Amino acid sequence: MPIHTMIEKQFGEQIAEVQQEIRAVALPAKLAQRLNAKPRSPALWLCRRYLNRRAQVVELTISVHLADRYSYSETFQRDWHAN
């Protein structure tokens, strides 16, 4: 189940927008220790903001993934039946 659906069910907030930001970062030493990795290793930093209809942030998540422990892929298909 998508997170926005869980937020809507649990808190009664309708999610109108989700913003996602992805950055390449060098892993800070403290976080590297927690992730059993070398400091300054390449990583991806992800921030997701879930906004309600009033443009208020109702949920914010930040994740850090080591480069060799993360994969992201998308598939785009053209709709040949669209006018």
pLDDT tens digit sequence for 61-80 = 999 999 888 888 889 888 77
Name the architecture of domain 3-68: 3-Layer(aba) Sandwich (3.40)
Q: Structural domain boundaries of the chain? A: 3-68
CB atoms under 10 Å from CB of 50, counted, come to: 20
What is the C-alpha radius of gyration for the chain, rounded to an integer number of angstroms? 17
pLDDT digits over 5-31, tens only? 888 898 888 999 999 999 999 999 999
pLDDT single digits (tens) 32-71? 999 999 999 999 999 999 999 999 999 999 999 998 888 8
Q: How far apart are CA 6 and CA 25, in angstroms?
A: 30
Which helix (H) or strand (E) is 32 found in, with range? Answer: helix 29-34
For residue 8, count CB atoms less than 10 angstroms from its CB and return exposed for 0-12, middle for 13-18, buried for 19 or more.
Answer: middle
Lookup: tokens for 3: 């997170």
